[in-house]
Amino acid sequence: MEDGIFFNQSKYIKEMLKKFGLKYSKPTKTPMSMEIKLTKDDEADSVDNSEYRDMIGSLLYLPTSRLDIMFSVCLCARFQENPKITHLEAVKRIFRYIRGTTRLGLWYSKGTGIETIVYADFDHAGDYVDRKSSKGVCTFMGCCSTSWFAKKQTTLAIFTTKAEYVSVEKACQQAQWMKQALIDYNIRLEDVLIMCNNKVTIDLSKRPRTTL
């Protein structure tokens, strides 16, 4: 395209749907239901973990162009050791969602600016198994998303401020990496804006010597 680049994995999606027998499944509007809480239920019926892992492995490649399913895929990936029926249904829902949104992708317009903003957020105690929080970071250059990830935090955050602070820390690391990487292209970023929605965390970031 003359006006920019469109990155899409529709062919890969169709191949996955055919592989797992979901080519004609009913599309859904969201990748995950708010009503279902995924946990380790030892009493529930288990499913074939080899097939489950195969489905997860196929989905893990897709967030390269589909930010909208990244959290859902990463959440389902936590139950690969002993997946239950509820976990398999959640994974199949993701497949049903991408079936109805095959044409979605990333658009990088020509001539976009280099102003860089990194967004950080968290899900406090969102894991129903160990109550650990999940952090998410997304970097935009101009109007284009350039990098993103969602990951469960390694430590237990009792207070929301600590969970948010850890997310912001990762956002700062991402900003530093971005600045360093762009030097190879003779692009030097003076300032990178870090965005979060926790006022206490913002205040603490101005006093980096403070101990949480």
Per-residue pLDDT tens digits for 14-64: 999 999 999 999 999 999 998 888 888 878 889 999 999 999 999 999 998
Higher pLDDT, 192 or 126: 192
Element (H, E) at 107: strand 105-109
The HSE-up count of residue 132 (CA atoms within 13 Å, CB side) is 14
Per-residue pLDDT tens digits for 122-150: 776 666 676 777 788 899 988 888 888 88
Residue 40, domain extent: 4-105
Final residue of a domain: which of 85, 105, 125?
A: 105
- 158 and 180 in a single domain? The answer is yes
**Mean per-residue pLDDT for 92-112?**
93
The answer to whether position 210 is within a domain reads no
